Structure 1
Amino acid sequence: MSVKRWIEKVIGPLDQKREYRSYLARIRALPEPYRQTAAALQRYFNHTAATVLDVEGSMRMWSDFADLWEEAAADGTAIGDIVGEDPVEFAETFAQAYTGKRWVDRERRLLNEAVARAQREQREQRR
């Protein structure tokens, strides 16, 4: 096994890591207050499990997100014109546009399975 394949097996595909680092650099290069807003939205995406689990879908989302903020900064578009009156609604709608499995999907499945298992056990105990 080549060193590159071994490293990718341990830490994941290097090209995707480079692509993600490039995305982060694009966000850091934004002028204020666009950088601050994009960083706050990214934090929200990361903490609410809004990002797509499959790497390609996630990278597509991050690339489009950076494009949006770069274009807004270049055009001088008001932040309120982008996110509207409810930044949470904007973030949720933006994330929903990218289909794919999300971390929260896994957690929902695990919750449903745990409750179903508990209900089965409870029914068996009543017999």
Structure 2
Amino acid sequence: MADENKSRYLHYLEIVTGSLEEKKRWRRYRARVKQLPENYRIAVEALERYLMHFGPADGAGAMTMYEDLADLVEQSVADGIPIRGLFGDDPIEFVETFMANYPLGQYRARERNRFTSAIARAAGEATPPRDRTQG
């Protein structure tokens, strides 16, 4: 009975505060970021801020994306790839391409293309301009 009450309590707590497992994943991710060299950490934290505003908002999808980001940056550090070698000359192009690999990013890319095509048709143009995330 005590285990059942504890389980029920944890269930209600997660409803109010969000998944406890996702919070643990976030803490592990942040610990990884803190271990990066300062210039990479600054870049990752800036990218995080961007993703908080424009990236996937759901817990599991977002966490997978952040964990993949940590993997990518850790590997770049290990391989000696400089910041610009990783993020390129256009960091927005990098982040948009990076996000396009995740479900919400794919949805946004499709909708962006749909919107661009509709405007091109409305303007009487045959071919809409290419989306930046499509390479």
> Normalising to structure 1: TM-score of the pair?
0.72
Deviation for aligned residue 1:25? 1.3
How far apart are 1:53 and its partner, in Å? 2.5
Matched with 2:12 is 6
Q: Does 1:53 align with 2:57?
A: yes
In structure 2, the residue matched to 1:22 is: 28
Specify which of 67, 70, 82 is matched with residue 78 of structure 1: 82
Letter in 2 for 1:69: V
The gaps in structure 1 that reach 5 residues or longer are 105-127
Q: Give me the identity figure in percent.
A: 41
- Amino acid paired to 2:96: E
Give the Cα separation in 1 of the matches to 2:14 and 2:45.
Answer: 28
Of the candidates 31, 35, 45, which is equivalent to residue 39 of structure 1?
A: 45
Greater relative contact order structure (CA < 8 Å, 6+ sep): 1
Runs of 4+ in structure 1 deviating by more than 4 angstroms, as ranges, are none
Aligned equivalents of 1:4, 1:101: Cα separation in 2: 32
CA shift for structure 1 position 100: 2.8
Question: Structure 1 residues 36 and 71, CA, compared in 2 at 3 Å: closer, same or farther?
Answer: same
Equivalent pair of 2:33/2:70 in contact (CA under 8 Å): yes
Give unmatched runs, 5+ long, in structure 2. 109-135
Q: CA deviation at 1:40?
A: 1.1
Residue in 1 that maps onto 2:123: none
In structure 1, what is the equivalent of residue 120 of structure 2? none
* Cα shift readout 1:63-84 (whole Å, capped 9, x = no counterpart): 1001011111112111111111
Following superposition, the deviation at residue 12 of structure 1 comes to: 1.1
CA distance in 2 between counterparts of 1:101 and 1:14 reads 25
